[in-house]
Structure 1
Amino acid sequence: MRALVVGAGIGGLVAARALQKAGLEVLVLEAHTYPGGLAGTFTHRGHRLDAGATLLSGFAPEGPMALIAEALEVRFPVEPLPEGFPLLEVHLPRGRVVRPVGREAEREAQRDFFGPEVLPFWRWQEERAKALLRLAPRLPWPPEREELPRLLALVPELLPLLPDLFLKAVHRAPQDPHFLRFLDAQLLIASQAEAGRTYALYAALALDLPHMGSALAPEGVGRVAEALAEGLPVRYKARAERLLLREGRAFAVEVAYGGRRRGEREVVEADLFVLDVPLAPLLGLPLKAPKDAWGAFVVHGVLPFRAPPPYFRQNAREKPFAFLSLRPEGEKTAFALSLHTPLALWEGLSREEYGRLKARWGEMALRLGEALLPGLREAEFLLFGTPRTYARFAGRAWVGGYPQTHPFRFPRVRPFPNVFRVGEGVFPGQSVPAAALSGLRAARLALEALGLAGSEGEARPSFPPSP
């Protein structure tokens, strides 16, 4: 029995390892030269730079990444951050607030900056986040037919959470304009939507990021994907171009190779397929961005000095909010500086217009970044990425999957009987832990369809338990 995984992103790699562990023959196709996709790390001038995701979490005991590490027998080369570590610093019009690791330290920092009126919000947030973390590895959404009993069994746990499925985050928050600006800035990173549009339940979980087992990857976020890819047969520079169907089922993928095999094409057959890439282009259909999706303008570079923590800083004093990620490399510091940008701004431009717009946004990004870390312009080199860059690299111009305005916009995981989608384009959405959980769910569904899972949906070998 052969499984073909298209895309070596986090979701695809988790699914591949789970299927391989269950005894299937697995092959992974990856269009680029390294694993991870937008959670990967590329090399430029001898330095490792993160392609997209920079902030890792979920590694606490019983957290999503810890469960996956145990289930798949993989060791992630990350360094957990201790309680009280200053994880993230947010610059607001009236000053700076630090988000430390640990809920007690966070509440103290929030009270000192915003006042005691924000504490009920953080108590609500903690309660909802803990409930969702217990549910996350078991929650099938939207459910496939065979998952309906699993979903129904979770109803008693879901019922208390339902009001926050329909409320927006802003409705749970104190109406202090400074606190609302803080929420907008944080949720744009985690949910691709501001507090007035992010549904409250997702906001509670997204805001828990510092307390879910935050960790640093000394050589870049891509080390997580590299650990997952170890021992898997991965063909790099292998771009899947078409999913071939027969009588409503997939039977093969057309592949075009690059690198040393440039110009070669092959039809790769398999019994089941996991897609960590958008489905539409594989069916010959245009890929449409969500109307409310954001693009990203990113600056990568390496500084000739070692920057101190916090290693994550956000300039929310003015829009567009700028997010700076720092990673020390000996006596130097690799960084990524990102800004949300409207997709329409970058469409239909001539080469000259595109060059001028890119230069203007580059200058604005560095100005906003200098407010977070003076000396940013001293970088040994600067690389600039736009939505056009992401369209070339990732196959789509927008970032973060679907903005988390409600959970009903996510597509089915199984578009065809033997095809399963994973990654940030399916529930629960963006982030490394979310993509990893999507891979585990796809593998479980595939193994159940093949009769290689127990009656309760626990695949052999072990997975995080299903109800």
Structure 2
Amino acid sequence: MLRLGFSLPSPTISGRSFGLPCLDSTTQCVASRRRTKYEYGGVLGSARARRVPSARSVLSTERRTAEGRGRGSEDDEYDAIVIGSGIGGLVAATQLAVKGARVLVLEKYVIPGGSSGFYERHGFTFDVGSSVMFGFGDKGNVNMITRALQAVDCKIQVIPDPSTVHYHLPGGLSVRVYREYSEFIAELISKFPHEKKGILKFYGECWKVFNALNSLELKSLEEPLYLFGQFFKKPLECLTLAYFLPKNAGNIARNFIKDPQLLSFIDAECFIVSTVNALQTPMINASMVLCDRHFGGINYPVGGVGVIAKALANGLVKKGSEIHYRANVTNIILENGKAVGVRLSDGKEFFAKTVISNATRWDTFGKLVKTEDLPEEEKNFQRNYVKAPSFLSIHMGVKASVLPADTDCHHFILEDDWARLEEPYGSIFLSIPTVLDSSLAPEGHHILHIFSTSNIEDWEGLPRKDYEERKELAADKIIRRLEKKLFPGLRSSIVLKEVGTPRTHRRFLARDSGTYGPLPRTMPKGLLGMPFNTTAIDGLYCVGDSCFPGQGVIAVSFSGIMCAHRVAADIGLEKRSPILDAGLLRLLRWLRTMA
């Protein structure tokens, strides 16, 4: 068996170069290579600095927009610089490019995608993060990935997953979440027949939220002209969302359900969404996931999750914007308190009317923006939110014979004690994407991708030898649990294994402490306390899982769409009302203080 240190890819691995997503059999779109020097539509290494515009002071985003620039000038600034090419950043960038903005994306690594990236080893193609993909539906408005790809004329071939997840829980409780809602509800009621009414009521409330979201044109909640327009078109739906905004799923569930085991099951449902129990999971977040898995369904991209980011990156270039790789942003440049550009680790500087950070809030404020420049609002955020744990991740190639023929793609395992749900290594999430797409592994093999929560404090300060031994020990314990619960003979079937820790995620994904995202320090009031895309620094915006509505692919895609709309309004590509803007932003900031 090969035991390799976990790392992400160099431009070529095993003699194979990575294919262009817009030119292969899984994706239909044609990306112009006119301005590219790298496979993902970007510029690699030292070739990236075609120009370094000179700095100039600005007074505000509005004034910068009014001053304008000649579109043909090679020496002028970009409309937006996006730091990081996670899904949220790429969606924001492509949405802006479609509106006519000139965007520069700066990515520290050699491929796009961040947590939604990929890497290859010995014929296996591994997803870096989750393989549970929402947002590929063909109807409604919450199909964020479909919308983002369509905007840049791309379409990805996907494989529908007949079930979202198979739960293996304490007391022998086994529940499959089928794609068809009626099948899932029938399965759950069969386990808790005495709670039939409560089950229908709770999930019915989730559908109220989801249907309200799905009926609206989803844009920036910080743009008043859009908000007023949606309210006049869909007042009941807007009021429904306003009602549920400060509420958590656990409180709603307890209005209808009394059985402790069923409430614990609801906790597990929410834990997959947010890494916390239902009492701490905003109802809007829970509803988006618990309903879209049946409405749009879970769909796996042919070729792996990484094809999403590759398609968006090439689509961005097709629309006339740029993405540079190995471009490590170390500072956001501020002049007179305004964000005007960025500085790279090699000293190069790029300037823009706006800067969008796809980094975590902790990386943005405290690293890219130095601590002494932190606005009070960001100090409050860091007082009110803590970093969610990271993960121990195990990527394995195994002999196909070890898996039963009817094995589901996704599993959640918590064997003995509900109290261990949120503990490090208490619960296990397992994905087997080769159940859906066999092309990801050599013939006769499967991929197992295993996650369990882990804190970075357990991995800091260790000598290399001790660090490697601890990785092997932690991974072996989890694999033994899977062998006992699901797959007898699993350990002897392993042909390749790589283990990543929170340190791995911090290093390669540039996430402070390897964190999954923000968690409220105390019991939250739904999403009321979550910041949106604007910040207290003029010209600086945030996008991704540290913003409303939070973690997950569908959530960060929504964040990207919202951010692009707000930025486009601020640089004159969308209608805006400065007076209404100022009033709404003050109101939203005041509401966050009430959370």
TM alignment of 1:135-150, pairs within 5 A? 135=216, 137-138=218-219, 140=221, 143=222, 149=228
Identity %: 27
Partner of 1:413: 533
Distance 1:182 1:293, change over 3 A: same
Cα displacement (A) at 1:201: 3.5
Q: 1:334 aligns with which of 444, 447, 471?
A: 447
TM alignment of 1:303-318, pairs within 5 A? 303-305=398-400, 307=403, 308-318=406-416
TM alignment of 1:22-421, pairs within 5 A? 22-60=99-137, 61-62=139-140, 63-81=143-161, 85-93=162-170, 94-115=172-193, 116-117=196-197, 118-135=199-216, 137-138=218-219, 140=221, 143=222, 149=228, 156-162=236-242, 164-173=244-253, 174-211=257-294, 212-231=296-315, 232=317, 233-256=322-345, 264-278=346-360, 279-280=364-365, 281-285=367-371, 290-291=385-386, 293-305=388-400, 307=403, 308-318=406-416, 319=420, 320-328=426-434, 329-330=438-439, 331=443, 332-349=445-462, 351=464, 354-370=467-483, 371-377=485-491, 378-395=493-510, 396-403=512-519, 405=524, 406-415=526-535, 416-421=537-542
Work out the CA distance in 2 between the residues paired with 1:57 and 1:168. 21
Work out the CA distance in 1 between the residues paired with 2:202 and 2:528. 25
Cα displacement (A) at 1:216: 1.0
Distance 1:77 1:33, change over 3 A: farther
Structure 2: which amino acid aligns with 1:388?
R
Cα displacement (A) at 1:34: 1.1
Distance 1:4 1:148, change over 3 A: same
Cα displacement (A) at 1:292: 5.9
Alpha-carbon displacement from aligned partner over 1:396-435 (angstroms, at most 9, x marks no partner) = 2244322374313323412233222111111111111221
Residue 550 (structure 2) pairs with residue 429 (structure 1)? yes
Work out the CA distance in 1 between the residues paired with 2:387 and 2:370. 24
Work out the CA distance in 2 between the residues paired with 1:398 and 1:133. 32
Work out the CA distance in 1 between the residues paired with 2:100 and 2:250. 48
Work out the CA distance in 2 between the residues paired with 1:397 and 1:157. 38
Task: State the TM-score, normalizing by the size of structure 1.
Answer: 0.86
Work out the CA distance in 2 between the residues paired with 1:151 and 1:206. 23
Cα displacement (A) at 1:103: 1.3
Distance 1:361 1:146, change over 3 A: farther
Cα displacement (A) at 1:196: 2.5
Q: State whether residues 34 and 42 of structure 1, in contact with CA within 8 Å, keep that contact through their aligned partners in structure 2.
A: no
Work out the CA distance in 2 between the residues paired with 1:255 and 1:397. 21
Cα displacement (A) at 1:170: 2.5
Structure 2: which amino acid aligns with 1:268?
F
Distance 1:285 1:368, change over 3 A: farther
Partner of 2:14: none
Q: State whether residues 270 and 277 of structure 2, in contact with CA within 8 Å, keep that contact through their aligned partners in structure 1.
A: yes
Work out the CA distance in 1 between the residues paired with 2:157 and 2:458. 39
Q: State whether residues 412 and 430 of structure 2, in contact with CA within 8 Å, keep that contact through their aligned partners in structure 1.
A: yes
Alpha-carbon displacement from aligned partner over 1:22-58 (angstroms, at most 9, x marks no partner) = 2332221111111110011122233211111210012
Cα displacement (A) at 1:358: 2.6
Q: State whether residues 246 and 527 of structure 2, in contact with CA within 8 Å, keep that contact through their aligned partners in structure 1.
A: no
Work out the CA distance in 1 between the residues paired with 2:494 and 2:325. 31
- Does the residue aligned with 1:452 lie in a helix, a strand or coil? coil
Work out the CA distance in 1 between the residues paired with 2:116 and 2:354. 25
Work out the CA distance in 2 between the residues paired with 1:123 and 1:429. 22
- Does the residue aligned with 2:458 lie in a helix, a strand or coil? helix
Work out the CA distance in 2 between the residues paired with 1:420 and 1:216. 31
Partner of 2:49: none
Work out the CA distance in 2 between the residues paired with 1:21 and 1:161. 29
Distance 1:321 1:67, change over 3 A: same
Distance 1:375 1:36, change over 3 A: farther
Alpha-carbon displacement from aligned partner over 1:149-197 (angstroms, at most 9, x marks no partner) = 5687676534334554444323333232322232222211211211222
Task: State the TM-score, normalizing by the size of structure 2.
Answer: 0.69
Q: State whether residues 185 and 316 of structure 1, in contact with CA within 8 Å, keep that contact through their aligned partners in structure 2.
A: no
The gaps in structure 2 that reach 5 residues or longer are 1-76, 373-377, 421-425, 579-595
Q: State whether residues 432 and 447 of structure 2, in contact with CA within 8 Å, keep that contact through their aligned partners in structure 1.
A: yes
The gaps in structure 1 that reach 5 residues or longer are 257-263, 458-467
Distance 1:33 1:375, change over 3 A: farther
Structure 2: which amino acid aligns with 1:366?
I
Structure 2: which amino acid aligns with 1:108?
A
Work out the CA distance in 2 between the residues paired with 1:428 and 1:444. 15
Cα displacement (A) at 1:452: 1.4
Q: State whether residues 38 and 394 of structure 1, in contact with CA within 8 Å, keep that contact through their aligned partners in structure 2.
A: yes
Structure 2: which amino acid aligns with 1:304?
K
Structure 1: which amino acid aligns with 2:153?
E
Q: State whether residues 129 and 204 of structure 1, in contact with CA within 8 Å, keep that contact through their aligned partners in structure 2.
A: yes
CA-based RMSD? 2.9
- Does the residue aligned with 2:129 lie in a helix, a strand or coil? coil
Work out the CA distance in 2 between the residues paired with 1:134 and 1:144. 18
Work out the CA distance in 1 between the residues paired with 2:216 and 2:224. 19
Structure 2: which amino acid aligns with 1:410?
M
